[in-house]
Chain A
Amino acid sequence: MSASTKRLFSQTGKYALLTVVLALFAGPLAWMLSTMLKTKAETYKAPPSLLPESLNFESFNRLFEVQPLMWRWIGNSFIISILVVIGVILSSSIVAYGFSRFSNKYKNRLFPIVLMTMMIPPSVMMIPSYVLFTKLHWVDTWLPLIVPAWLGGAYYIFLFRQFFMSIPHELDEATYLDGGNRWTVFSRVILPLSKPIVMTTVIFAFVNTWLDFLGPFLYIKNNEMFTLSVGLQLLIGQTSQDFPALAAGAFISIVPIGLLFLFAQRYIVEGVMLTGSKG
């Protein structure tokens, strides 16, 4: 075998391998799409057919009929996610400025605590947080989901701080010479230079909030206040045998994140690299 045929061979092998594994990973998503477009009767065929007989969007009608609150849950998820994003950007960037531009003994003692809180297993905090929110009378409101984001989440502080550290101090000095103070440096110099990390954080915080299940599941009991995730969970119980409607519900919950990912893949990838997780 000549070198070039050998190469062609190994290239083909690589694509074959990639495609087989891809089928395993994308397969379940494709199955969701196919199920969503089938009629209810079609999904009870054994063996099941790979594709729907015709494109049928009845499942969406049934979905919104069984669960008229769907629109509301979608809206709730958007409102909560957006409020979290605003809070995260404001509070985390301010706190991160403190941890990256000051030098005093307190900073060196407090920052390791910020890092430590990143390592605390969330499930250990599940019961303590619930006890706290009960005492604050925050259970069954959105406050437990939103307020913590306005008070500086450790992950996002870390993300911002890493970025701020890479901005040269000469710019700060120049601003001080012009009569600026700490706040001017932060708002006029550091923040305008931080668009990339702001973008990453916006997307990251939005995705994490949209994906969050345990928070709304524990703290919200009133159906009308549900987020889409928790609402879908209720739906599984209500119509567990209507496969197309369930698939349609799953599809709806994926669409916003999917679109975001298409347009902002770069930022999501960056966020994962910097913090090592998606939440």
Chain B
Amino acid sequence: MKNRLRRYDTSVFFLFIAPWIIGFTLFFLIPFGTSVFYAFTDARLPGAVDYDFIGFSNFQEMLNNPTFGKSLLNTLYFVGVGVPVVTAGMLLLGLLLNMNVKGIALYRTFYYLPTLVPIVATVIIWRLVFNSEFGILNAGLSVFGIGKTDWLGSEGLIKPVIILLQVWISGSGVLIFLAALKNVPKHLYEAVRIDGASRLRAFFTITLPMISPSILFVVIIQTMYNFQMFTEALLLTKGGPNYAAYTFVYNIYKSAFTDLQFSMAMAQSIFLFAIISLVTFVLMKLSNRFVYYEGEK
């Protein structure tokens, strides 16, 4: 009797989660499975029925792709430079907005606004601001005697400009840091103040360790985001000038939709998935040494 009831309850459970099971199967398992399969064929179009198995050829040829190396280097730049810069920017903004002054809530609202701007609108705004002839940025800088800069047309500047754009829309990360900062117990600061420690020291000995779980979280999210950098690069300068903002995902997109080589695009997607998984895993492992969790011995 009891067993039958339990079995009945289990089927009710499956009824409740049925939407997710269908969605997970249809929109994840099946497409991912078939695409991994495709990566080892020479299928050029998504609906191809006529294709051959070619083993690892796509993966070998991927390395010979003329834009592969460039796109990988650009992506590594975004990860290596962008992640630390954006995370530090978020943390500084978090500290700034955690200051105890009247009207701070209003300031917080304004800092968060850019995060809610659709990416295409963001790009329009940035083109207006960074326009070398008529933009407000160069006009503002000329007051300080800085000459006209071609922000979007320079191979050396386009990646920093995109990283800056990420800081502009970093409101979500700032919110996470803000919440973490509020959770640091006040009495810890009082204790070190009695010991005569400076604010800077208090930051490194108390704040940083106490919010380290949030830092890890933001670093992982940022790392995944920058490995997948594409939309900003596509919309701002179409990956240019001269491929300076041409990223790995851009190359996947081009292989699939311009070169019409879907199996090749899939091979690259698997490669990217492997890299992201590996890096996230290493970050988690490394973090065991640096991240402090409250209540842990």
Q: Does B253 contact A (CB under 8 A)?
A: yes
A-contacting residues, B11-39, CB 8 Å: 12-14, 16-17, 19-20, 22-24, 26-28, 30-32, 34-35, 38
CB closest chain-A residue, reference B104: A18
Given A29-B113, A254-B117, is A95 in contact with B27 using a C-beta cutoff of 8 Å? no
A22:B31 contact, CB within 8 angstroms: no
Q: Does A182 contact B (CB under 8 A)?
A: yes
B9:A214 contact, CB within 8 angstroms: no
Q: Does B96 contact A (CB under 8 A)?
A: yes
Q: Which residues of chain B are within 8 angstroms of A28 by Cβ–Cβ distance?
A: 114, 125-126, 128-129, 168
How far is it, in angstroms, between the C-alpha of A48 and the C-alpha of B134 when the chains are bound?
6
B139:A127 contact, CB within 8 angstroms: no
- Cβ of B73 to closest chain A Cβ, rounded Å: 18
A127:B128 contact, CB within 8 angstroms: no
- Cβ of A217 to closest chain B Cβ, rounded Å: 8
Q: Does B273 contact A (CB under 8 A)?
A: yes
- Cβ of B275 to closest chain A Cβ, rounded Å: 10
Q: Does B278 contact A (CB under 8 A)?
A: no
Given A94-B16, A272-B175, is A254 in contact with B47 using a C-beta cutoff of 8 Å? no
Q: Which residues of chain A are within 8 angstroms of B112 by Cβ–Cβ distance?
A: 261
A211:B119 contact, CB within 8 angstroms: yes
Q: Which residues of chain A are within 8 angstroms of B228 by Cβ–Cβ distance?
A: 121-123
| Most chain B CB inside 10 Å of its own CB: which residue of A25, A232, A257 | A25
Q: Does A180 contact B (CB under 8 A)?
A: no
Q: Which residues of chain B are within 8 angstroms of A124 by Cβ–Cβ distance?
A: 269-270, 272-273, 276
Q: Which residues of chain B are within 8 angstroms of A18 by Cβ–Cβ distance?
A: 96, 99, 101, 104, 107
Q: Hey, what's the 0/1 contact readout for A90-115 against B, CB within 8 Å counting as 1?
A: 01001101110010101100100110
A-contacting residues, B243-287, CB 8 Å: 249, 252-253, 256, 262, 265-266, 269-270, 272-273, 276, 280
How far is it, in angstroms, between the C-alpha of A243 and the C-alpha of B134 when the chains are bound?
10
A102:B13 contact, CB within 8 angstroms: yes
How far is it, in angstroms, between the C-alpha of A124 and the C-alpha of B280 when the chains are bound?
15
Given A127-B256, A127-B265, A247-B128, is A254 in contact with B121 using a C-beta cutoff of 8 Å? yes
Q: Which residues of chain B are within 8 angstroms of A94 by Cβ–Cβ distance?
A: 16, 19
Name A276's contact: one of B47, B123, B221, B272 (CB within 8 Å).
B221
Given A210-B118, A236-B120, A272-B176, is A104 in contact with B10 using a C-beta cutoff of 8 Å? yes
How far is it, in angstroms, between the C-alpha of A268 and the C-alpha of B104 when the chains are bound?
18
Q: Hey, what's the 0/1 contact readout for B166-203 against A, CB within 8 Å counting as 1?
A: 00100110011001000000000000000000000000
How far is it, in angstroms, between the C-alpha of A117 and the C-alpha of B12 when the chains are bound?
23
Interface range on chain A: under 10, 10 to 19, 20 to 34, or 35 or more?
35 or more
Interface range on chain B: under 10, 10 to 19, 20 to 34, or 35 or more?
35 or more
Given A28-B126, A214-B231, A277-B221, is A207 in contact with B27 using a C-beta cutoff of 8 Å? no
Q: Does B116 contact A (CB under 8 A)?
A: yes
CB closest chain-A residue, reference B124: A250
A152:B19 contact, CB within 8 angstroms: yes
Q: Does A258 contact B (CB under 8 A)?
A: yes
B119:A48 contact, CB within 8 angstroms: no
Q: Does B46 contact A (CB under 8 A)?
A: yes
- Cβ of A210 to closest chain B Cβ, rounded Å: 7
B116:A131 contact, CB within 8 angstroms: no
Q: Which residues of chain A are within 8 angstroms of B272 by Cβ–Cβ distance?
A: 121, 123-124
B101:A14 contact, CB within 8 angstroms: yes
How far is it, in angstroms, between the C-alpha of A45 and the C-alpha of B133 when the chains are bound?
9
Q: Which residues of chain B are within 8 angstroms of A15 by Cβ–Cβ distance?
A: 101
Given A229-B118, A247-B124, is A131 in contact with B142 using a C-beta cutoff of 8 Å? no
Given A46-B134, A131-B38, A151-B26, is A253 in contact with B118 using a C-beta cutoff of 8 Å? yes
Name A213's contact: one of B10, B116, B172, B231 (CB within 8 Å).
B231
Q: Which residues of chain B are within 8 angstroms of A46 by Cβ–Cβ distance?
A: 133-134, 139
Q: Does B224 contact A (CB under 8 A)?
A: yes
B118:A228 contact, CB within 8 angstroms: yes
CB closest chain-A residue, reference B165: A28
Q: Hey, what's the 0/1 contact readout for A5-22 against B, CB within 8 Å counting as 1?
A: 000000100110110011
Name A232's contact: one of B12, B118, B252, B270 (CB within 8 Å).
B118
B101:A99 contact, CB within 8 angstroms: no
Q: Does B109 contact A (CB under 8 A)?
A: yes
Q: Does A265 contact B (CB under 8 A)?
A: yes
Given A98-B17, A132-B30, is A258 in contact with B116 using a C-beta cutoff of 8 Å? yes
Q: Does A169 contact B (CB under 8 A)?
A: no
Name B134's contact: one of A32, A44, A117, A253 (CB within 8 Å).
A44
A17:B96 contact, CB within 8 angstroms: yes
Given A18-B107, A151-B23, is A253 in contact with B16 using a C-beta cutoff of 8 Å? no
Q: Does A175 contact B (CB under 8 A)?
A: no
Name A25's contact: one of B24, B168, B224, B276 (CB within 8 Å).
B168
How far is it, in angstroms, between the C-alpha of A16 and the C-alpha of B122 when the chains are bound?
26
Q: Which 4 A-B pairs have the closest CB atoms?
A: A151-B23, A98-B16, A128-B31, A250-B121
Known: A95-B16, A121-B276, A127-B262. 13 other contacts (CB 8 A): A22-B110, A26-B110, A31-B128, A32-B125, A102-B16, A121-B224, A123-B272, A126-B252, A152-B24, A211-B118, A211-B119, A228-B118, A273-B179
